[in-house]
Amino acid sequence: MPEAELVDRVRRRLATAPAVLDELVRDETGGIVDDTAFAALCRDVDAELRGAGPLEPLLAGRGVTDVLVNGPSDVWLDRGAGLERASVGFPDDAAVRRLAQRLVSGSGGRLDDAMPYADAVLPDGTRVHAVLPPLVAHPTISLRVLARRPLGLADLIDRGLPASVADLLRAIVAARLAFVISGGTGSGKTTLLGALLGTTPPAERLVLIEDAPELVVAHPHVVRLVTRSANVEGAGAVGQRELVRQALRMRPDRLVVGEFRGAEMVELIVALNTGHEGCAATLHANSAADVPARFTALGALAGLPADAVASLVASAVDVVVHLRRGRDGQRVVAEIGLLGRDGNVLSVAPAWTAVDGDGAGAARLQDLLRRAERAA
């Protein structure tokens, strides 16, 4: 019996009456397969019914960060060095659609013709985005796989981070300077943030706020708050802005926002202006010079004028660390800059760049680090 037919028959029987999966598989195969083949069939059926189907071995692969399904026979993965075509596939569009709907519905979401796109988070933290026709030619699934173990600065040095840059970043964290890590999608912002948070003193309490539990931090005192999407009735949503308010009541030594996406940015910036030092966040931006414009746009979502955003951010955020992903897939620290104010406009003064080394803001950054060391 073809495996796709076996899976379909087992699915129909499970839908009509609860049963033990192993017993159903043995019954449907007539008990004529040997133990090795039977175990493999059970794994495949379980992955199809409860896991990620044919994508399961890809998600479990070492170093895999993304799995992308563009159609039944068009599957790609990224192991950290750029996209490569995977050898797995699906029988047809219907199989891709079934998997997408099951992954989304398992997280309490909805994906159908009336709502042809959805986001979801799997129990292990993997982020799922799915889109159905007619918005696309074939059902598509995008999965962002979380790191399975924390990476420290030593690990990043082994992967190409210059030791001098690692020392500078470590000093920025130790000085309790507020910093933002910027970069494009897949540039390594979350990985670097997790590594830097791992260098904080073990007695400090870290409160993390995320849309999905992506940050992996080697630290003994971490409290994680995760947003919640609305249910199928449109109720029950809890966003980052509310979580920032709750986190401020939890006695954080460092408040960390996994990614600035909207008006929650204002809550954290206001908190930074009231004595909460050493906070951190990530932000999508094409370059360090574009970070001020991103802050202004996010402030506008909260109804703040540009000059108010400039005033708040300039007095709250000290450092911008910008990451870039090269054409070879390598993630690098491209620039470390100081955020400041030029009149009523935010600006970033480069303290170090991968191309030119020390920049105009280097002396000021060293002065901030020395003052923090004396104050400690």
DSSP string, 142-172: EEEPPPSS---HHHHHHTT--HHHHHHHHHH
11 alpha carbon, distance to own chain's centre: 33
What is the rounded CA–CA span in Å between residue 38 and residue 23?
11
pLDDT of residue 51: 65
| Cis? peptide before 18, omega within 30° of 0 | no
Q: Write the CA distances from 313 to 81, 169, 198, 247, 340, integer angstroms.
A: 35, 20, 25, 20, 8
241-282 confidence digits (pLDDT tens): 888 889 888 999 999 988 887 776 777 777 777 777 888 999
SS3 283: strand
* pLDDT at 29 > cutoff 80: no
Alpha helices in the chain (DSSP H): 3-16, 21-28, 35-49, 56-59, 93-105, 153-158, 163-174, 189-197, 240-247, 264-272, 291-301, 306-316, 362-375
Asked if 101 and 111 count as a contact pair (C-beta separation under 8 A), the reply is yes
Pick the CATH number of 153-375 from 2.60.120.260, 3.40.50.980, 3.60.15.10, 3.40.50.300: 3.40.50.300
> For the residues 307-318, what does the mean pLDDT come to?
87
pLDDT of residue 41: 52
Percent of the chain's residues with pLDDT above 90: 30
Pairing of strands 74-78, 83-85: antiparallel
What is the rounded CA–CA span in Å between residue 301 and residue 150?
34
User: Amino acid identity, residue 211?
Assistant: D
161-188 confidence digits (pLDDT tens): 999 999 999 999 999 999 999 998 888 8
What is the rounded CA–CA span in Å between residue 261 and residue 301?
10
What is the rounded CA–CA span in Å between residue 91 and residue 209?
39
What is the rounded CA–CA span in Å between residue 15 and residue 219?
44
What are the structural domain ranges in the chain?
1-49, 51-146, 153-375
Topology of domain 51-146, CATH: Beta-Lactamase (3.30.450)
122-152 confidence digits (pLDDT tens): 877 788 899 999 999 999 999 988 776 778 8
Q: Write the CA distances from 297 to 124, 291, 316, 346, integer angstroms.
A: 33, 10, 17, 12
192-236 confidence digits (pLDDT tens): 999 999 999 999 999 999 887 888 899 999 999 988 877 767 778
Buried b or exposed e, range 194-217, using 16+ CB within 10 angstroms: bbbbbbbeeebbbbbbbbbbbbbb
pLDDT of residue 125: 77
Percent of the chain's residues with pLDDT above 70: 85
